[in-house]
Structure 1
Amino acid sequence: MTAKKTISLLISTTLLFTFFSCNKKSATTQEKEITLVMAEVNPPETLAGKTDLAFKEKVEELSGGKIKIDLQFSGILGDNSTVRKLITQPNSTIHIARQSTAGFVALGCKSYALLSIPFTFSSREHFWKFAQSKTAKKLLQEPRERGLNCIGLFYGEEGFRHLFSTKKINGVKDLEGLTMRVTNDAALQAIAKNLKMNQTQINFADLYGALTTGQVDVADQPLSNYLANHFDEVAKNIILDGHQLGIMETFITTEIWDSLSEKQQNILLESGRYASEYCRKISEEEENKILKQIEAAGVSVVKVNDIGPWQEALSDFIKETSSGDMDLYKEILSYAH
């Protein structure tokens, strides 16, 4: 055998060895057990909590226990703003988090502002048609496109958000002069301003105490969160204005996502679809059950027969916010049909 042939054979053998070694390493990496830390600000009995659990259980089932979700409830890992700050920065100790899309508007996710515009979604059916659309899937990528350290996995909803208060409320006029708890969500601030309320920013964890002391008269939550966080004990008046749908999005850090194999990514995506569908099936049923429960407990529940005055009060804000991307907003509205 010539020296040239010997060298050629050695090179070929080395390449084959490297190829099979890399494949073996890749396969081993795919099979390696991993634990992903997931944060939830609400208790497990809420709609958000139940959706999280459905996701966790499906991930662990489909992965044969190779992917474990360390799910922490009730704000143990921090309030929403703390968690959001962590997952949008490198080297986050939290890998997955269920968040409101509204919280990402201040971080530059401009399209999410359209989802928070009051009275955008006319019904649950409207939202779920949107959530299953190509439009919605594209929006899941926006955080990464904006330079944040995460992407969306799937959507959910907590039901429509309603105003609740320590004071009796029968209509728009009764809100004037009261103090409302707001967040950094521009839509929530606009609701307080345009309904002629004072406003103050209070962390969710401090809201119960603020209602008790009179620091806050009015706040808003979906019914599931209202009951689970015991606000019925200190604010026994709800008006069902349904000003926003509580849109949830479950995010994962891009560092973790990019480190996963294609098989692992598909497990998370399939589990997300499962959890999203689970949320869709139980949301209205849960809300109706809670409504009966709080009425039986003596909470004053006022239904809004004419939403016109509420929409009129917020019409300027709706026009101003939607004008930033009117084509996309019209696309979102079109799913109502």
Structure 2
Amino acid sequence: MKFKKLVASMCIAAMSIASLAGCSSEPKDSGSQADAGASEEKVTLQIGFENSMSEPIGQALQHWADLLDEKSGGTMEIVLYPDSQLGNKTDLIDSMLLGENVATLADGAFYADYGVPDFGIVFGPFLFDNWEQCWTLIESDWYKEQESKLQEKGLRILTSNWAYGARHTLTVKPVNTVADLAGMKIRVPSNQIQSLGFDVLGAASTGMSLGDVYQALQTKTIDGAENPLATLYGRKLHEVAQNLILDGHVLNFTTWVCSNDWFNSLTEEQQNLLIETGNEAGLYNNGIQAEAEADYLQKMVDEGVTVVEPSEEVMAGFREKAQAFYDMGDKFGWSEGLYDTVRAAMGAQ
């Protein structure tokens, strides 16, 4: 397989990510300041997530925990619970709505299900042309408006500048073109946006916790799964599904979200420390994510995975199919002209 084009694109992504280091890391409005007599006990944030600690995102979370401990002088701490130890994403978000001191990784698709419908478009298939458009979008007025609406629903985004990775599709049977997805049961996270985003490509999306995917592939309950390379390899899914198409259907930047009530119980200084260290850890994450992708891909090839790097013609077929998704605005409750609004906000031509 020819990797030159892929490696070159990864280098470009790494350069784009590196450019973020020059961006302002100033937090947005930190919300209500707690009473001056707030408790001096150590502030603890429990972060539950589906990934393993060996993945880049797990390493970056540990970096965040270390940064917060250092910069707060030990008065604040992050306790990590990988591998869904605190439950699935929905369980964790429900806990946040009760004001508990938990956080998790979540994306616009989930926020759409929690009352901010326009946010869901960021997880639409083939929305972004490159990573730089993601970073432009999260600094836009449109994005800040979505964050404010989410706060009204009880959820607070701490940081958004984390690259989760380009999402690719791993299957039991070969997929060489979009037509090959017809009728295949593909695991997606349990939300409407990602489900319909794969359905328009011809697949039969199946919502499922990430921790259940290995067994489901092994027993042929599903035909495939989609995720960035780090997660596909980190969860060892390539052991039971050995066909990978590098479709990059979503350029997945992600966010870390917590309870808005809990966040507002912190002092302004604590809020700022949490946000600033989260953004700094995001830059660290992006660097190691970019470096790791080529390594994960080579490991998968070495361990027997057949990799398809689709031609421009094949990718055009995927994009053409995906356009039907953006005609579903009424189904999602989107604002009129949302696709054009977001494309403008991300600086797309």
Which TM-score band applies after superposition, normalised by the shorter structure? 0.7 to 0.9
What's the offset of the Cα at 1:38? 1.6
* CA offsets 1:143-182 (integer angstroms, 9 cap, x no match): 112x2x2210111121111111011121122222322223
Structure-2 residue corresponding to 1:154: 159
Structure-2 residue corresponding to 1:105: 112
Q: 2:342 aligns with which of 317, 320, 329?
A: 329
Q: Is the 8 Å Cα contact of residues 200 and 324 (structure 2) preserved in structure 1?
A: no
Structure-2 residue corresponding to 1:287: 293
What's the offset of the Cα at 1:286? 1.6
What's the offset of the Cα at 1:211? 0.5
* CA offsets 1:109-138 (integer angstroms, 9 cap, x no match): 222212011111111222123234454344
Question: Superposition pairs for residues 65-84 of structure 1, below 5 Å?
Answer: 65-84=74-93
Structure 1 residues 129 and 54: alpha-carbon distance in aligned structure 2, compared to 1, 3 A threshold: farther
In structure 2, what residue type is equivalent to 1:226?
Answer: L
Structure-1 residue corresponding to 2:319: 311
Structure 1 residues 58 and 218: alpha-carbon distance in aligned structure 2, compared to 1, 3 A threshold: same
* CA offsets 1:27-71 (integer angstroms, 9 cap, x no match): x74753222222111111223212322221111111011001111
Structure-2 residue corresponding to 1:12: none
Q: 1:120 aligns with which of 127, 137, 149?
A: 127
The unaligned stretches of length 5 or more in structure 2 are 1-34
Aligned length: 307
What's the offset of the Cα at 1:221? 0.7
What's the offset of the Cα at 1:91? 3.6
Structure-2 residue corresponding to 1:223: 229
What's the offset of the Cα at 1:285? 1.4
Question: Superposition pairs for residues 90-101 of structure 1, below 5 Å?
Answer: 90-92=98-100, 94-101=101-108
Structure-1 residue corresponding to 2:207: 201
Q: Is the 8 Å Cα contact of residues 118 and 187 (structure 1) preserved in structure 2?
A: no
Structure-2 residue corresponding to 1:187: 193
Q: Is the 8 Å Cα contact of residues 155 and 258 (structure 2) preserved in structure 1?
A: yes
Structure 1 residues 65 and 300: alpha-carbon distance in aligned structure 2, compared to 1, 3 A threshold: same
- Give identity over the alignment, percent: 26
Structure 1 residues 183 and 38: alpha-carbon distance in aligned structure 2, compared to 1, 3 A threshold: closer
Instruction: Measure the CA separation in 2 of the matches of 1:291 and 1:49.
Output: 19
Structure 1 residues 243 and 326: alpha-carbon distance in aligned structure 2, compared to 1, 3 A threshold: closer
Instruction: Measure the CA separation in 2 of the matches of 1:152 and 1:259.
Output: 15
Instruction: Measure the CA separation in 2 of the matches of 1:120 and 1:137.
Output: 19
Structure-1 residue corresponding to 2:12: none
Residue 328 of structure 2 aligns to a residue whose secondary structure is: helix
Structure-2 residue corresponding to 1:274: 280
Q: 2:65 matched to 1:56?
A: yes
Instruction: Measure the CA separation in 1 of the matches of 2:104 and 2:176.
Output: 36
Residue 153 of structure 1 aligns to a residue whose secondary structure is: strand
Moved more, 162-171 or 278-287: 278-287
Instruction: Measure the CA separation in 2 of the matches of 1:29 and 1:177.
Output: 56
What's the offset of the Cα at 1:97? 1.8
Pairwise CA RMSD of aligned residues? 2.1
Question: Superposition pairs for residues 164-179 of structure 1, below 5 Å?
Answer: 164-179=170-185
Q: Which runs of 4+ in 1 moved over 6 A?
A: none
What's the offset of the Cα at 1:242? 0.6
* CA offsets 1:296-318 (integer angstroms, 9 cap, x no match): 22211111222110011121212
TM-score (norm 1): 0.84
Q: Is the 8 Å Cα contact of residues 109 and 194 (structure 2) preserved in structure 1?
A: no
Question: Superposition pairs for residues 11-26 of structure 1, below 5 Å?
Answer: 26=36
Residue 181 of structure 1 aligns to a residue whose secondary structure is: strand
Instruction: Measure the CA separation in 2 of the matches of 1:198 and 1:263.
Output: 47
What's the offset of the Cα at 1:281? 2.2
Instruction: Measure the CA separation in 2 of the matches of 1:252 and 1:323.
Output: 26
The unaligned stretches of length 5 or more in structure 1 are 1-24
Residue 105 of structure 1 aligns to a residue whose secondary structure is: helix
Q: Is the 8 Å Cα contact of residues 95 and 253 (structure 1) preserved in structure 2?
A: yes
Q: Is the 8 Å Cα contact of residues 101 and 247 (structure 1) preserved in structure 2?
A: no
Q: 2:312 matched to 1:299?
A: no
Instruction: Measure the CA separation in 1 of the matches of 2:131 and 2:340.
Output: 22
In structure 1, what residue type is equivalent to 2:103?
Answer: I
